[in-house]
Amino acid sequence: MHNGRYKHTTSELHDGRVLVTGGTSVDDFRTTELYHPSTGNWTMSHKMNDGRYQHAAAVLLNGKVLIIGGFGPYSKFWSGAELYDPLTGNWTTTGDMHCQRCQHTASLLPNGKVLVLGGFTNIDCQINAELYDPLTGNWTRTTNMKVNRYQHTVTILPNEKVLVTGGFTDGEGFLTSSELYDPSTETWKTLPSMINATRLHTATVLKNGKVLVAGGFKENRDAVKTAELFDPSTETWTTTGSMYHIRGWHTASLLPNGKVLVSGGSVCSVYDNGIKNAEVYDPATGTWAITNSMLYSRSTHTASTLRNGNILVVGTWDGSSATRATEIYNSTTDSYIPANQI
């Protein structure tokens, strides 16, 4: 990339390009750039209005990208949001959220609205939920979650309901709790607890409709290698095979063959330089297999699934600075290559 970054966002545009925004770096937090899968090249795009990291992003049905909240220069939390237009490369401000937040989640609902949940700044935001309407550019409050949380996961299920798992809360620490949001009624349902309390884990919808939750950090700040499955048809949790390596702040990507690629991460939530190793989960057997390692050790990176089934891996902290190096996981050859060598 042109700028080193971590704790950024990546968004696949409707035309297949990948937009990278913000993140912590030695450069301007407002910078954005585009990856072009057809050439393997990066180009700079226009800067955001506000510099930010640990923000959230959602690609709207109209193709624009909504960037929400985050943490900015001078220790500022943002409630503001802005829109990126892929046709012009320009940014415009849109309505502010009702509260400031970072380490929150943003999910595009089937009806086109964006659901924002939790986040860190204060207890109200940790339990608060709100909806962005692209037609008006305004935010409205929806029913609060049952539990305060940030560093959680949010998954849109095949039945269009929203699964929220784990995270951290100032009130209770690490969470096993999970809950379900119904967009049609704007109501929450408390679900059975997960088997393991965790935060900064991953949640992936499998082709069979179940959700794989893997890794994360536990109470003593160490990462775990445990994994478990949520079955939406029974609303229950069951254990599945553990990973070979402990990891949190990693990424998980659904591959074209239905398996799940997990890569990188940290072994402790007190930030380290990340790890290189990667492994693949097979839903048919409930087991993991070691695959080829990444070219670079990474944590707080992003992994974006491209239209050809390959995975674009972006960003990390290398111990002294934010890295510019990017790489591609080739799902056919099961190997990593530099992103410009497609």
pLDDT digits (tens, 9 = 90+) for 112-138: 999 999 998 866 678 999 999 999 999
Helices (H), 13-137: 123-127
The reported pLDDT for the residue numbered 271 is: 62
The reported pLDDT for the residue numbered 123 is: 64
Contact 83/70 with Cβ under 8 angstroms?
A: no
CA-nearest of 229, 230, 224 to 240 is 229
Question: How many separate domains does the chain show?
Answer: 1
CA-nearest of 199, 226, 207 to 282 is 207
CA-nearest of 214, 212, 194, 195 to 204 is 212
CA dihedral 56, 59, 60, 65 (to 10 degrees): 70
- Taking phi over 0 as left and psi of -120 to 50 as alpha, with beta for the rest, 285 belongs to alpha
Q: Nearest 5°: CA angle at 82, between 79 and 83?
A: 155
Buried-state track 104-113, b at ≥16 Cβ within 10 A, e below 16: bbbbbbeeeb
Token code pair at residue 188:
């929450």
Contact 280/258 with Cβ under 8 angstroms?
A: no
Asked if residue 81 is part of any domain, the answer here is yes
Asked if residue 8 is part of any domain, the answer here is yes
How far is Cα 265 from Cα 272, in angstroms, rounded to an integer? 9
294 vs 176, 268, 321, CA distance in Å?
31, 19, 19
User: Residues of the chain with pLDDT > 90: what percent?
Assistant: 86
Beta bridge partners of 81: 68, 94
| pTM listed for this prediction | 0.96
Q: How many C-beta atoms surround the C-beta of residue 233 within 10 A?
A: 9
Residues in the chain predicted with pLDDT less than 50, given as ranges, are none
Beta bridge partners of 77: 71
Distance of CA 323 to the CA centre of its chain: 19
- At 23, which CATH number? 2.120.10.80
Asked if residue 36 is part of any domain, the answer here is yes
Asked if residue 265 is part of any domain, the answer here is no
3-class DSSP assignment, residue 52: coil
Q: Which domain holds residue 134?
A: 1-144
Asked if residue 87 is part of any domain, the answer here is yes
Buried-state track 184-208, b at ≥16 Cβ within 10 A, e below 16: eeeebeebeebebbbbbbbbbbeee
Q: How many C-beta atoms surround the C-beta of residue 42 within 10 A?
A: 20
Asked if residue 139 is part of any domain, the answer here is yes
Asked if residue 210 is part of any domain, the answer here is no
Asked if residue 103 is part of any domain, the answer here is yes
User: DSSP secondary-structure letter at 145?
Assistant: P
